[in-house]
Amino acid sequence: MNAGERDHPKADELLDVGDTLCGELALLLKKQLGGMQPGAVLHVVARDAAAPEDLPAWCELTGHSMLRVEHPNYWIRRKDG
């Protein structure tokens, strides 16, 4: 394991959305995170070119925390409550 791999947040679940576009991606994220415990971490793999802008913006709008971005990998902490 290299140093970069050790720095990744520990994920509770993985969601690989491939090349899914923003609208459908938002629905998938809402469903997945809605079923997780507050504070849990979701590792999302999103290969769409707009994901580096879309995912952090979605987190800001919904109150979830973007922990780390390494396109196509994103770690999101589910908000409390």
How much is the pLDDT for 5? 53
**What are the pLDDT digits (tens) for 44-61?**
999 999 999 999 999 999
Residues 11, 22, 26, 36: which is the catalytic one? 22
How much is the pLDDT for 8? 87
3-state SS record for 7-74:
CCCCCCEEEEEECCCHHHHHHHHHHHHHCCCCCCEEEEEECCCCHHHHHHHHHHHHCCEEEEEECCEE
- Cα–Cα distance between 47 and 19 in angstroms, integer? 5
CA 23 to chain centre: 15
Give me the residues of the chain with pLDDT under 70, please. Answer: 1-6
How much is the pLDDT for 81? 74
Is 22 an annotated catalytic residue?
yes
How much is the pLDDT for 32? 97
